[in-house]
Amino acid sequence: MARPPACVVFVARTHGVVGLVIGVSILLLHALTRNLRGIEFGAPTYCSTGGLAAFYLLTAGLVWQGAPFGRLCARLCALLYLPRPDFGSRVWHAMDSVEFQAHFKRGSRAR
């Protein structure tokens, strides 16, 4: 399989890094607070943050592979980046590019 276009790599890596940072943050927070009595995180906290990390990592894989549902997931994940216009606009412009859109067309590349 050929390497995806640069804009697809950028979006997939961005979502992948965010997913990894969320996952590492969960582990670090758990390690730092597990013996503190005043700070407790229950199972719902770990489930929701773990699910968020998994969603970002899944989206990175879908975008890299060019799965049709990957475009929608990428847009949902990119909502997190909008408060930082210098970064968020770069991701949104990459997703609006012709190369990014063509990456998700079934007939545009050989399988």
pLDDT per residue as tens digits for the range 52-92: 999 999 999 999 999 989 999 999 999 988 888 888 889 99
Amino acid (1-letter code) at residue 68: P
d(C-alpha 64, C-alpha 58), whole Å: 10
Query: What rounded mean pLDDT belongs to the chain?
Result: 90
d(C-alpha 37, C-alpha 79), whole Å: 35
pTM of the model: 0.88
Structural tokens at position 53: 């990390």
* pLDDT recorded at residue 84: 85
In the numeric block, the tokens 């949902």 are attached to 76
